[in-house]
Amino acid sequence: MVPVPTAPSPSPAGPTRATGPVPVRLPADAVFLGLARALRAAGLAVTADRERVFLTAVAAGDAGSRRHVYWAGRATLTSSPADAEAYDAVFTAWFADDTPTTANRAQHPPSVTRQAPLGGDGDLGVAADEGEALRATASEQEVLRHRDVGSLTADERRTLADLFATLRPMPPTRRARRPVAARRGRVDGPATLREHVRRLGEPGRIVHRRNGVRPRRVVLLIDVSGSMSPYADSLLRLAHAYVRSTASGTRAVTTEVFTMGTRLTHVTRALRERDPDRALVAAGRVVPDWSGGTRLGEALGAFLDLWGRRGMARGAVVVVFSDGWEREGPELLAEQMRRLAGLAHRVVWSNPHRGKVGYQPVQQGIVAALPFIDDFVAGHSLAAFEQLIEVVARA
């Protein structure tokens, strides 16, 4: 567990203090990740993406140089010059000269932590080597959560597939027309009167009611063209989590999933399989245009004509997963996005490049769609998917 100071003591430290080696007491990633979280606790707007960029910047240079770490953090973890004072104070407190180092902690035995292997087919309750002792360190799963899913190896993808089971998508809600009984709220006159009649005129309890809520439909449109093929597997696993979380119970299905490439394919039924791997295989059987071209405008038009205008998109939260590369002209995509925004309660666009450093939405498709998007979010990592789930739940 990385210690996070909640109230670092003020210090006149600044760039001139950022010299000398960085004291090492924990694995380097844990130390630097702890610094980022301490800055967040101090009030700086340090997001998960900024943490990842900071770790990348530190790893690109001399991680043992305090000056290098200082400027890497100053460039990636602060938003404006107004953050400099708080950054200096936290940085100095975190790397204080009296911080115990490896040398003066040598007399204490290191804490021993038994960790389960990350492999998918092993026994998670038994370590592979009983004698292996690992230091408490930043979780490998935590690091994997922030990795770009398009750059993972086959083993890392298998590990990430297990982590998708931890996602708990919650559908957004809308106000129901019919009120429901409640302990507090408006007095339900007819129900109160019926209660008095049932008691033969004797005064009974006062019945209250309040406005009920119902889940709002979520529609997922997933681009499976060639430029999105590294993310297609993860996006379908996310869609499977949505379908499984909203299809349980007796309520009507509130999540619908389509794939978009050179044609539009409805894959909700295939994703209702309980096992995610079997669900992806079933979806693969019905999608004929994997890694093909991109015709976003035509696909959106087909969705609106065949399903959207008939009720599926009305009042729904529609999430489009795409990088915005459009083979056809942007005029058709802009027209279909305008139609979609007129029907949907909220339009969310998740772009895998949105969370990368230096990304600018300059593709013709994105430029055409942006005026009709309510939320433009990243979609490149498991952490980004978790943030997307929160955005959809609040819609």
Domains of the chain, by residue range, sit at 29-92, 177-213, 216-394
Whether the Cβ atoms of residue 229 and residue 287 lie closer than 8 Å to each other: no
**CA-to-CA distance for 285 and 283, rounded, in angstroms?**
5
pLDDT recorded at residue 104: 42
pLDDT recorded at residue 25: 54
The residue among 142, 160, 162, 164 whose CA lies nearest residue 152 is 160
**CA-to-CA distance for 233 and 91, rounded, in angstroms?**
40
- CA distances (Å), origin 29, targets 51, 69, 122, 202, 271: 11, 12, 26, 71, 37
The residue among 252, 180, 249 whose CA lies nearest residue 218 is 252
CA dihedral 66, 67, 68, 72 (to 10 degrees): 100
204 is written with which tokens? Answer: 């009974």
> Facing residues of 208 across strands?
182, 187
pLDDT recorded at residue 234: 92
**CA-to-CA distance for 220 and 255, rounded, in angstroms?**
8
pLDDT interval class at 118 (50, 70, 90): very low
Phi, psi of 155 (to 5 degrees): -65, -40
The mean pLDDT of the chain is: 80
At 260-293, the pLDDT tens digits run 988 899 999 999 888 999 999 898 888 887 777 7
172 is written with which tokens? Answer: 């957004």
The DSSP letter of residue 60 is H
Number of helical H runs and strand E runs in the chain: 13, 9
The DSSP letter of residue 150 is G
Per the model's pLDDT, the better-predicted residue between 167 and 24 turns out to be: 167
At 170-215, the pLDDT tens digits run 889 888 888 888 888 888 889 998 988 888 888 888 999 888 888 8
What lies within 8 Å, CB to CB, of 295 at 6+ separation is 260, 261, 262, 263, 326, 327, 328
105: pLDDT strictly greater than 60: no
258 is written with which tokens? Answer: 């389509």
**CA-to-CA distance for 62 and 91, rounded, in angstroms?**
17
134: pLDDT strictly greater than 50: no
At 346-394, the pLDDT tens digits run 999 999 998 787 888 888 888 899 999 999 999 999 999 999 999 999 8
Superfamily, domain 216-394? von Willebrand factor, type A domain (3.40.50.410)
What lies within 8 Å, CB to CB, of 334 at 6+ separation is 368, 369, 371, 372
Phi, psi of 311 (to 5 degrees): 130, -20
4: pLDDT strictly greater than 50: no
**CA-to-CA distance for 344 and 337, rounded, in angstroms?**
10
Residue with tokens 């309890």: 205
